């Protein structure tokens, strides 16, 4: 890794600025330009010093300000112009952040780069809600998947590998696919009573938490009016959230859709 990288692929974490790494903050302070995604919170963008150019490359489902190829080309162009570039992504660049694609493009064009990991939503958002990813006797593994895998009926999802009661399943960008995950998991043998939770805008001031059984979660989320981005977690560890959030000093959630019993 070069001592002074031309491009830094930086993870912004799940949204709470206090979860930003010191290394990420240092890159903010030395950047000439920050190319940032839609999911980077306003509180984190506020940490970018005045005078640093900001370019929004945000992507929402079906709506891209810049296509991925255009972002790749932009990073190369800025770096070759001698700019110190921060490519700022929500969560971790290498966890559903397309950071690997951008890194490969930089390599192909001879642009030196550095990757600054960020706290991914699976750990940051769930921990803030009092939910451990693993717990002895309840969950011995974790599976991360994106809800975008359900956007095409042509995709062959092996629901049997996902419907493991000893594994915590975490689905990123899950709002549009909640019902499909429910049907697929239950159809593959996971108990309808399995604890589940949907969290919107996790770790941020507008956070919403909706807990229910796997069978009831889609209807509960619709009734609660959750909006994207939404993280889904399914597994026995979700039931610990009611206990650990209350006892650890985490903020009390007063949502109307707690249905775990």
247 flagged as catalytic = no
Question: Of the candidates 260, 256, 248, 173, which has an alpha carbon nearest to the alpha carbon of residue 214?
Answer: 260
| Rounded-to-10 torsion of CA 102, 105, 107, 110 | -120
CB 208 within 8 A of CB 199: yes
CB 7 within 8 A of CB 33: no
**In whole angstroms, what is the distance from residue 34 CA to residue 237 CA?**
37
Q: Which of 23, 32, 59, 242 is catalytic?
A: 59
**In whole angstroms, what is the distance from residue 122 CA to residue 232 CA?**
9
DSSP-based three-state secondary structure for 213? strand
Token pair, residue 229, equals: 């981005």
Q: Which of 37, 92, 164, 216 is catalytic?
A: 37
Find the DSSP H helices in the chain: 22-30, 42-45, 68-80, 99-108, 121-128, 159-162, 178-187, 217-224, 241-247
Q: What is the 3-state secondary structure (H, E, C) of 46-81?
A: CCCCCCCEEEECCEECCEECCCHHHHHHHHHHHHHC
Residue 198 has φ and ψ, to the nearest 5°, of: -120, 130
DSSP-based three-state secondary structure for 243? helix
156 flagged as catalytic = no
Residues with active-site annotation:
37, 59
């Amino acid at each position: 890794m070069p001592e002074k990288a031309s491009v830094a692929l930086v993870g912004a974490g799940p949204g709470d600025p206090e979860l930003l790494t010191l290394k990420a903050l240092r890159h903010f302070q030395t950047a000439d330009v920050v190319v940032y995604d839609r999911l980077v919170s306003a509180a984190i963008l506020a940490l970018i010093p005045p005078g640093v150019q900001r370019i929004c490359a945000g992507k929402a489902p079906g709506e891209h300000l810049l296509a991925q190829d255009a972002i790749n080309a932009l990073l190369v162009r800025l770096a070759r112009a001698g700019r110190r570039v921060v490519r700022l992504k929500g969560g971790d660049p290498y966890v559903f952040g397309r950071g690997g694609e951008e890194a490969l493009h930089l390599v192909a064009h001879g642009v030196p780069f550095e990757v600054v990991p960020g706290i991914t939503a699976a750990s940051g958002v769930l921990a803030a809600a009092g939910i451990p990813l693993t717990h002895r006797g309840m969950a011995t593994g974790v599976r991360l998947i994106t809800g975008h895998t359900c956007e095409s009926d042509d995709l062959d999802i092996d629901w049997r590998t996902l419907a493991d009661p000893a594994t915590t399943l975490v689905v990123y960008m899950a709002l549009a696919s909640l019902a499909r995950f429910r049907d697929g998991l239950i159809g593959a043998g996971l108990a309808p009573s399995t604890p589940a939770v949907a969290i919107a805008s996790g770790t941020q001031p507008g956070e919403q938490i909706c807990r229910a059984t796997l069978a009831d979660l889609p209807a509960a989320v619709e009734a609660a009016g959750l909006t994207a981005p939404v993280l889904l977690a399914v597994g026995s560890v979700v039931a610990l959230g009611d206990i650990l959030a209350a006892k650890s000093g985490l903020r009390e959630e007063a949502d109307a859709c707690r249905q775990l019993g």
